[in-house]
């Protein structure tokens, strides 16, 4: 699919961006793989990796707020993966304008640049926090989803297809709970917001593979949602830091007790496709004669996909296996489940 193609990824120096580039370089031979980001230092660090010195790699400095620069970067591009965003919930509450400019206007600019260059397909990364949002970050991601889906209306005969991938928390990504617990473990105490809290979790590699599958499968206008396991915050803390004391600090402003990937309000257009769901566009203003029933069955009215009512759960043994892989990649070492961590059965 990607051999000989030109791919651009916004936010290419982030956790997902680097994992995406690594996977593509190991499994495909693209003509150009363009990292588009605004941080020259992160780009220089990325280029120190021999893998990222491949001759197909391009490093394009630019901000998604800059439409002119973004349009220039997309000349001749076949596929766009839009992963750039500001995502820290507390920072969004204190700096709303910055999040609006980047996450909403920046996403609109990605769509405009893709349309101007007749890009074949563009996929945007979204989050469970975009569903019935209660914080500004989630609200900006909901607007970004809407802007991306609606862009299918403007592509004309040379139709650029736009779709969205929506999934849960990425295990081990920058700013996530696992690195926080690992840091707190050194002091002997971890902070728990609420012992009842549940979350959807996905690994970086799973996220990359799902985005690529969505690029291949998209007809235009869908929201792709993988079927993910849930995990309680207590199970996560007990595996990462079993010998530490735990301090309950309460939910932070803008934080939910449980997360939702598909709300009841969207159930009438949700298709169960086996390992993932598709939310078909509710109001396709473009010529839309696609039939998603060939991919799966229509879910019953009233269906919802929430972290607390999930049928799949991460066991402590599965969390420990993932954690060892994560630590091996980060530090080159693993941990014993007998000394540092609980024994899992």
Q: Which two tokens stand for residue 317?
A: 């043994």
pLDDT one-digit tens code per residue, 286-304 = 766 677 777 789 999 899 9
In angstroms, the CA 94 to CA 152 distance is 33
Question: How many helices (DSSP H) and strands (DSSP E) are in the chain?
Answer: 11, 17
- Residue with the bigger pLDDT between 47 and 281: it is 47
pLDDT-based confidence at 332, cuts 50/70/90? low
Comparing 26-35, 222-231, 316-325, the range with the smallest average pLDDT is 316-325
Mean local confidence (pLDDT), 123-150 = 96
Q: Identify the pLDDT of residue 172.
A: 78
Q: Identify the pLDDT of residue 176.
A: 81
- Provide the 8-state DSSP code for 105: I
Q: Identify the pLDDT of residue 165.
A: 98
Q: Which two tokens stand for residue 334?
A: 């693993």
Burial degree of 309 (CB within 10 A; 0-12, 13-18, 19+) = exposed
Comparing 96-100, 134-138, 281-285, the range with the smallest average pLDDT is 281-285
Mean local confidence (pLDDT), 154-177 = 87
Residues of the chain with CATH 3.40.50.720: 6-168+202-227+264-305
Q: H/E element holding 214?
A: helix 204-217
Assign domain 6-168+202-227+264-305 one CATH number from 3.30.70.20, 3.40.50.720, 3.10.129.10, 3.30.470.20. 3.40.50.720
pLDDT one-digit tens code per residue, 60-70 = 999 999 999 99
Catalytic residue among 129, 141, 256, 316: 129
Q: What's the distance, Cα to Cα, between the start and end of the chain in Å?
A: 41
What is the dihedral sign for C-alpha 128, 131, 134, 140? positive
pLDDT one-digit tens code per residue, 180-192 = 999 999 999 999 9
Contact at 8 Å (CB) between 148 and 137?
A: no
**Owner of token pair 């004309």:** 156
- Neighbour-count burial for 324-335, b at 16+ CB within 10 Å, e otherwise: bebbeeeeeeee
Q: Identify the pLDDT of residue 282.
A: 79
Strands 57-61 and 79-82, by their bridges, are: unpaired
Mean local confidence (pLDDT), 265-274 = 92
Mean local confidence (pLDDT), 150-162 = 88
Sheet with strand 297-298: strands edge to edge? 57-61, 32-37, 6-10, 79-82, 121-127, 161-167, 223-226, 276-279, 270-272, 297-298
Q: Identify the pLDDT of residue 287.
A: 64
Contact at 8 Å (CB) between 261 and 319?
A: no
pLDDT-based confidence at 341, cuts 50/70/90? very low
Is the per-residue pLDDT at 330 higher than 90?
Answer: no
In angstroms, the CA 13 to CA 280 distance is 31
- Provide the 8-state DSSP code for 100: I
Instruction: Classify 131 in phi/psi space as left (phi over 0), alpha (psi -120 to 50) or beta.
Output: beta
Closest to 120 in 3D by CA, of 155, 83, 167: 155
Q: What is the mean pLDDT of the chain?
A: 91
pLDDT one-digit tens code per residue, 103-134 = 999 999 999 999 999 999 999 999 999 999 99
Mean local confidence (pLDDT), 276-283 = 89
Percent of the chain whose predicted confidence (pLDDT) is above 90: 78
Mean local confidence (pLDDT), 43-49 = 96
Extract the runs of DSSP E, i.e. beta strands, from the chain: 6-10, 32-37, 57-61, 79-82, 121-127, 161-167, 169-170, 189-192, 198-202, 223-226, 230-232, 245-248, 260-262, 270-272, 276-279, 297-298, 305-306
In angstroms, the CA 220 to CA 151 distance is 10
pLDDT-based confidence at 331, cuts 50/70/90? low
* 129 flagged as catalytic: yes
DSSP β-bridge partners for residue 246 = 190
């Amino acid at each position: 699919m990607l051999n000989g193609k030109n791919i651009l990824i916004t936010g290419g120096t982030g956790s997902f961006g680097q994992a995406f580039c690594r996977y593509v370089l190991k499994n495909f031979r693209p003509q150009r793989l363009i990292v588009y980001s605004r941080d020259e230092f992160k780009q220089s660090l990325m280029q120190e990796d021999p893998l990222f010195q491949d001759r197909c790699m391009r490093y394009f400095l630019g901000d998604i707020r800059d439409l002119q620069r973004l349009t220039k970067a997309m000349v001749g591009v076949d596929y766009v993966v839009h992963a750039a965003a500001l995502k820290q919930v507390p920072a969004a509450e204190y700096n709303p304008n910055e999040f609006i400019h980047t996450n909403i206007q920046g996403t609109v600019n990605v769509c405009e640049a893709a349309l101007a260059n007749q890009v074949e397909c563009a996929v945007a990364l979204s989050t469970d926090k975009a569903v019935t949002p209660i914080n500004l970050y989630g609200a900006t991601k909901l607007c970004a989803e809407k802007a991306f889906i609606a862009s299918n209306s403007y592509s004309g005969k040379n139709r650029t297809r736009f779709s969205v991938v929506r999934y849960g928390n990425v295990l081990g990504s920058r700013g996530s709970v696992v690195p926080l617990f690992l840091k707190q473990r050194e002091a002997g105490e971890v902070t728990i917001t609420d012992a009842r809290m549940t979350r959807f979790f996905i690994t970086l590699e799973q996220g990359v593979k799902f985005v690529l599958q969505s690029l291949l499968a998209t007809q235009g206008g869908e929201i792709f949602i993988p079927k993910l396991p849930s995990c309680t915050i207590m199970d996560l803390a007990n595996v990462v830091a079993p010998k530490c004391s735990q301090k309950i600090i309460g939910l932070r402003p803008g934080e939910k007790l449980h997360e939702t990937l598909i709300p009841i309000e969207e159930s009438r257009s949700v298709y169960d496709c086996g390992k993932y769901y598709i939310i078909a566009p509710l109001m396709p203003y473009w010529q839309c004669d696609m039939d998603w029933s060939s991919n799966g069955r229509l879910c019953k009215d009233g269906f919802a996909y929430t972290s607390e009512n999930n049928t799949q759960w991460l066991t402590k043994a599965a969390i420990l296996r993932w954690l060892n892989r994560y630590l091996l990649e980060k530090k080159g070492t693993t941990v014993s489940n007998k000394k540092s961590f609980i024994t899992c059965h």
